[in-house]
């Protein structure tokens, strides 16, 4: 069945749609600019099947169970711009198949069973800008196979079975901007692998089996802006690994086995804005480890084995906005750990650590901090002046600290901007009178599920802006007559 859609633009053209066939029809109008032959059973596309379609721009041959394309199958398609061969049963593409397709800009062969590309296959495709070859069965690609693709900007070879990238594989691809090689079986990357990719901006190689990145591995790819290397098996990051990447903005190394960071491993990454090291095995951070990352805005160190944070380990992070350190083994926050270099930090996550001690002035440099999470820790006491320097803080999350029993008078001093305080599911027994007197902007106070026995007069003094108070599920036996005096804006009171 052939369906035609025609339109007049000075010359008569057709869009042709073919279904319910087992071979390429002979009666498709020769002036068709778009031919769609989809969802059929066509085992073989024979030589000269499209010879008369010199005006055709778009050819769709997807989902046709095609097993064989004869060498001259596309002969005569001199104007073709886009060719779709995805989701067929192709295992091999013969050299010479694309020689007439000098105008082709997009080629989709994903979702087949192709084992490799032969050298010379892409001869004639000087205009090709996008090649989609993912989800095949390729286990090897020889150096030089892409040499004819001088205009290529986008290459997808992900979801194959490649176990290495040969030196010279990407020679002549100086126009390439995006390279996707994720979910293969690659074990290592050698120096020089990307040496001719001077225009490359995005490299995605997550989900491989990479154990080691040789120093200089990214040499030549000086335009890189994003590298996705997560979910591999990388153990160490050594000095020189990221040499020459002064334009890099995003680096994802999360979900690896990284234990050690060489002191100068991030040297030269002056444009880096996002660094994800989540779910690795990092045990310590040396002083000045991030000193070259003055543009970094986001740093994720969650789910590591961090125990020792050396004083000065965050030196140089002048632009950092978000720092995540949860689910590590941190027990102590040392004095001046978060110093003046972190003056732009707005979010700090310290939850799910066995944190026992926060030394005085640990937060001294965090003048812009907006959200602080210290929950599911082993902290027992909130000391006087602990948060003194956090004048911009609006959200303080202290919930689920099961060993937290004591709040010293003045522990919330300095929190003049705080709007939300969460201290539910702790082990607090007593709220001293005036404990909240410094929190004039507080709107939400959640202290349910503790062991508080008495609500005394003056307990909530200073909370002029409070609109919601949750204090249920405690052990309250008595409430003073003036306990809630001064709470003029309260809308929710849950006892």
In CATH, what number is assigned to the domain containing residue 415? 3.80.10.10
- The β-bridge relationship of strands 12-18 and 2-8 is antiparallel
Retrieve residue 66's tokens. Answer: 């095609």
Size of the chain, expressed as the number of residues it contains = 495
C-alpha to C-alpha distance for 299 and 320, rounded to whole angstroms: 8
For residue 193, the Cα-to-chain-centroid distance in whole angstroms is: 23
Retrieve residue 63's tokens. Answer: 């989902």
Task: Return per-residue pLDDT of the chain as tens, 495 residues.
Answer: 555 555 545 444 556 677 788 999 988 898 899 999 999 999 999 999 999 999 999 999 999 999 999 999 999 999 999 999 999 999 999 999 999 999 999 999 999 999 999 999 999 999 999 999 999 999 999 999 999 999 999 999 999 999 999 999 999 999 999 999 999 999 999 999 999 999 999 999 999 999 999 999 999 999 999 999 999 999 999 999 999 999 999 999 999 999 989 999 999 999 999 999 999 999 999 999 999 999 999 999 999 999 978 889 999 999 999 999 999 999 999 888 898 899 999 999 999 999 999 988 899 999 999 999 999 999 999 999 999 999 999 999 999 999 999 999 999 999 999 999 999 999 999 999 889 999 999 999 999 999 999 998 888 999 999 999 999 999 999 998 989 988 999 999 999
Is the Cβ–Cβ distance between 29 and 56 less than 8 Å?
A: no
What are the CA-CA distances from residue 310 to residues 49, 247, 266, 283, 337 (Å)?
70, 29, 17, 11, 8
Residues 6+ apart with CB under 8 A from 182: 158, 159, 204, 205, 206, 207, 208, 228
CA proximity to 107, closest of 73, 142, 52, 152: 152
Assess if residue 385 is contained within a domain: yes
Is the Cβ–Cβ distance between 207 and 229 less than 8 Å?
A: no
Assess if residue 99 is contained within a domain: no
Range of the domain at 425: 381-495
State the Cα angle at 400 between 399 and 405, rounded to 5°. Answer: 90
Assess if residue 210 is contained within a domain: no
Question: For 340, phi and psi rounded to 5 degrees?
Answer: -65, -20
Assess if residue 407 is contained within a domain: yes
The pLDDT score that the predictor gives to residue 16 is 61
Give long-range contacts, CB 8 A cutoff, 24+ apart: 201-204: 201/177, 201/225, 201/226, 202/177, 202/178, 202/226, 202/228, 203/179, 203/227, 203/228, 204/158, 204/178, 204/179, 204/180, 204/228
Retrieve residue 367's tokens. Answer: 């003048």
Continuous H helices in 428-493: none
Is the Cβ–Cβ distance between 255 and 282 less than 8 Å?
A: no
Overall number of domains in the chain: 1
Assess if residue 308 is contained within a domain: no
Assess if residue 386 is contained within a domain: yes
CB atoms within 10 A of CB 491: 10
Assess if residue 284 is contained within a domain: no
CB atoms within 10 A of CB 7: 9
Assess if residue 233 is contained within a domain: no
**DSSP assignment of 339-358:** -GGGTT--EEE--SS---EE
For residue 159, the Cα-to-chain-centroid distance in whole angstroms is: 18
CA proximity to 167, closest of 138, 143, 187, 140: 143
Is the Cβ–Cβ distance between 459 and 431 less than 8 Å?
A: yes
**Torsion angle of the four alpha carbons 35, 39, 44, 49, in this order, in degrees rounded to the nearest 10:** -10
């Amino acid at each position: 069945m052939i369906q035609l859609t025609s339109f007049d633009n000075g010359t008569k053209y057709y869009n042709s749609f073919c279904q319910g066939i087992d071979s390429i029809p002979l009666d498709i109008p020769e002036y068709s600019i778009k031919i769609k032959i989809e969802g059929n059973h066509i085992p073989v596309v024979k030589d000269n099947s499209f010879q008369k379609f010199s005006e055709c721009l778009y050819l769709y041959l997807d989902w046709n169970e095609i097993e064989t394309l004869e060498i001259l199958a596309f002969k005569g398609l001199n104007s073709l711009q886009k060719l779709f061969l995805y989701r067929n049963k192709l295992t091999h593409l013969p050299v010479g198949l694309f020689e007439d397709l000098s105008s082709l800009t997009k080629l989709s062969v994903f979702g087949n069973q192709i084992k490799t590309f032969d050298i010379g296959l892409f001869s004639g495709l000087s205009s090709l800008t996008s090649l989609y070859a993912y989800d095949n069965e390729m286990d090897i690609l020889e150096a030089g196979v892409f040499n004819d693709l001088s205009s290529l900007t986008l290459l997808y070879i992900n979801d194959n079975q490649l176990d290495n990238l040969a030196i010279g594989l990407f020679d002549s691809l100086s126009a390439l901007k995006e390279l996707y090689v994720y979910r293969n079986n690659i074990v290592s990357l050698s120096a020089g692998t990307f040496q001719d990719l001077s225009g490359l901006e995005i490299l995605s190689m997550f989900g491989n089996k990479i154990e080691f990145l040789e120093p200089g591995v990214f040499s030549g790819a000086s335009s890189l802006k994003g590298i996705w290397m997560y979910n591999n098996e990388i153990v160490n990051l050594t000095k020189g690994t990221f040499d020459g990447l002064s334009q890099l903005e995003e680096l994802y190394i999360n979900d690896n086995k990284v234990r050690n960071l060489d002191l100068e491993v991030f040297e030269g990454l002056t444009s880096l804005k996002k660094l994800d090291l989540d779910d690795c095995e990092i045990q310590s951070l040396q002083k000045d480890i991030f000193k070259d990352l003055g543009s970094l805005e986001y740093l994720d160190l969650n789910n590591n084995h961090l125990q020792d944070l050396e004083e000065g380990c965050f030196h140089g992070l002048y632009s950092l906005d978000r720092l995540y350190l949860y689910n590590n083994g941190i027990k102590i926050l040392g004095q001046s750990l978060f110093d003046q270099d972190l003056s732009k930090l707005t979010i700090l996550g310290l939850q799910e650590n066995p944190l026992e001690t926060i030394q005085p002035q640990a937060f001294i440099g965090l003048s812009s901090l907006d959200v602080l999470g210290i929950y599911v820790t082993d902290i027992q006491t909130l000391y006087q002046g602990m948060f003194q320097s956090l004048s911009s803080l609006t959200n303080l999350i202290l919930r689920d600290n099961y060993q937290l029993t004591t709040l010293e008078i003045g522990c919330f001093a300095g929190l003049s901007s705080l709007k939300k305080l969460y201290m539910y599911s702790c082990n607090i027994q007593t709220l001293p009178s005036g404990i909240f007197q410094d929190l004039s902007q507080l709107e939400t106070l959640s202290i349910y599920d503790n062991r508080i026995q008495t609500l005394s007069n003056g307990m909530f003094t200073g909370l002029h802006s409070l609109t919601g108070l949750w204090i249920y599920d405690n052990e309250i036996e008595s409430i003073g007559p003036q306990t809630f005096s001064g709470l003029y804006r309260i809308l929710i009171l849950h006892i």
